[in-house]
Amino acid sequence: MNWGRKFRRAGIAAAVIAGLSSPISAQDYFYRYKGTWGPGGTTGGGTTATVNIASNPINPNVNKPFSTALSSSGAGITGYRLNPDVPWLSASGAAVSGTPSSTGTYKFRVEALNASNDVIGQSDEVTVEVLPPASISFAAGHVFPDLTVGTDANVDFKTAVTVNDLDARVPRSLAWSKTPAGDPPGLTLDPSTGVLSGRPTTAGSYPITVVATGHDATNQHLYTIKVNGVYMDVVQISAGVYHTCAVTPTGAAKCWGNNGSGQLGDGTTTARRAPVAVSGLESGVAYIAASADNTCALLTSGGVRCWGANANGQLGRGNTTSSSVPVSVSLPSTAKAIAVGNNHGGCAVLTTNEVMCWGWNGNGQLGTGAATGSGYPTPAYVIEQGGARLTGIDKVSMGQGHTCALTTAGAVRCWGANGSYQLGLGHTTQVTRVPATPTIASNVKDIAANSTDHACALLSTGGVQCWGENGFGQVGNGSLTDRPYPTDVTSLSSGVKSISTGESHTCALLESGSAKCWGDNTNGQIGDGTTARRWTPADVSGISSASSISTEGGRVNCAVVSGKAMCWGNNTSGQFGIGTTTSSNVPVPAASE
């Protein structure tokens, strides 16, 4: 009879066996004296060895090597076996190991054998569960917050990772690496924690392929870490066609964007995606105006400086030599206002309220009565029909081939190209010598003609009227028909503070600090989160406390909001000044240093 089994079925864990010299457990009794091991065992060996194995080993994954430590003591051990047998496992003197090929749950003991293949010891029962292959997944849509130059940063890539491993006892540790191997300036990736930390030193967008390895698995994902510069303070901004310039509270001039003609004024022709100082204009700048490939600044002293392209005399320096640093415009007296044009040079309103212009005159846009189709590198007075100088001017605005001026009495005078009614005279005859007056309903507070072929006026009532080319709805009256005369802009009969015209769109800053734009929206220049053309004014997203707005004949707009720059629209040349060339259909913080 197998008394060991009998005692176990009876629940006897330990018993004194009658007739023995000393009490022992029932189990020891049968091992020593009966030689019976239970199912799968053999007789005759007795218990002479001890076998130990981890009772709760880490569960393996399919197709991944598994090993758990095995130890034993006692004389006569010549080998080991598993009971019951597990096909993918084997036991040695140091470990139980193997590689599973399928999932499943396996329960076994390790038995120690002697030379006769008798069982002379065994381990406790062990359960091993083979789990599905572990995996590491990245959240593809995870966006890490922008970083800022000079500010401590911690980007924890673990927040974007999920480890799929069914054994909850497995430590969630991973090894981390990335490509390219170099870290963004000022930042370092900890290979053990997956945290990119430090204090970034250079603004820009840094693509990083993050690699996570662990749990016998590996995966990687591309993320872009954006480092913003410290957004500079601005008091006035001018959004040119492919570059932007601003004046700081200290009166310094800074520019960024395209620089093929030296229009940034930093002494080079190197494009800049972040603001650079304009050489020699570290202070004393009152106003700045950017065009397509040149820039001009009005100084607090009344002087005018220009730089950039000069093939047609756009710099007003008396020659056609371009300059990548500011040069003085040859004016007979100080100026109180300036303007620049996309395809010609510039104009200055003198403190005498007279106007002088220079540069290209292909459409009579200089208003000097001189022959068209020529460049004039020396400033000349704008004249009336009889040859007298135009006087009583407060402001001037230049478009691609036409110019308009605002008089001190609130009237508007326009001259130059007129093929699309951009002079507002009801006809399309070019005017080269005699500044003409559009028919406007009331006194005018502001004028904007820095467009391709249209112009607008801000009335004393706070309403807006526009005229000229309207193929994109830039007149804002709900149609696409060119307007030969000033026409009311829909829903803007009052409450407007200032206006600005782009290539084929228009923007208005309201007294409330919000903004509206209308017309072409190919590059998102309306700022409403779409690229849909708007025939009537649409709200600019996120602008609520702006003090000024600018779009100088291009497809990008910028506004000064609480002393900082925000831009939207075309950014293919880095016109936002934030280290990227990604355009935006909503305003974004701009001008980061």
Q: Which residue has the tokens 């208005």?
A: 508
pLDDT tens digits for 17-68?
333 334 433 333 333 322 333 333 333 457 789 999 877 777 888 888 889 9
Give the β-pairing of 556-561 and 546-550.
Answer: antiparallel
Q: What is the pLDDT of residue 227?
A: 87
Give 517's contacts (C-beta < 8 A, 6+ positions apart): 505, 506, 507, 508, 525, 526, 527, 528, 534, 537, 538, 540, 557
The more confidently predicted of residues 317 and 374 is: 317
**Residue 482: inside a domain, yes or no?**
yes
Q: In the predicted model, what is the mean pLDDT of residues 115-124?
A: 93
Residues 268 and 207 grouped into a single domain: no
Model-level pTM greater than 0.75?
no
Do 219 and 246 share a domain, yes or no?
no
Residue 2 lies in a domain: no
**Number of compact structural domains in the chain:** 3
What is the rounded distance in angstroms from the CA atom of residue 418 to the CA atom of residue 428?
5
User: 133 pairs with which residues across the strands?
Assistant: none
Q: What is the mean pLDDT of residues 320-339?
A: 97
Distance between CA atoms of 67 and 53, rounded to whole angstroms? 11
Better-predicted residue by pLDDT, 412 or 41: 412
In a domain, 68, yes or no: yes
Q: Which domain holds residue 536?
A: 236-590
Other Cβ atoms within 10 Å of 584 Cβ, number:
22
CA gap 136, 284 in Å, rounded: 58
Sheet (strand 294-299) strand order: 285-290, 294-299, 304-308, 323-328
Please, what is the end-to-end C-alpha distance for the chain in angstroms? 92
Examine the domain organization and report whether 365 and 287 are in the same domain.
yes
In Å, what is the CA distance from 286 to each residue of 54, 221, 293, 298?
Answer: 80, 49, 21, 6
User: Where among 95, 130, 165 does a domain terminate?
Assistant: 130
C-alpha distances in Å from residue 20, one per residue of 15, 31, 33, 228, 436: 12, 15, 11, 87, 132
* 502 pLDDT more than 80: yes
For residues 462 and 487, membership in a common domain is answered with yes
Mean pLDDT of 119-139: 90
Domain CATH number, residue 367: 2.130.10.30
Token digits of residue 488: 């009311």
Beta bridge partners of 69: 95
184-195 pLDDT, tens digit each: 889 999 999 999
Same domain, 126 and 140: no
For the chain, what is the mean pLDDT? 88
Distance (Å, rounded) from C-alpha 366 to C-alpha 375? 10
Q: Which residues contact 474 (CB under 8 A, 6 or more apart)?
A: 451, 454, 466, 501, 504, 505, 506, 518, 519, 520
DSSP 391-433: -SEEEEEE-SSEEEEEETTS-EEEEE--TTSTT-SSS---EEE
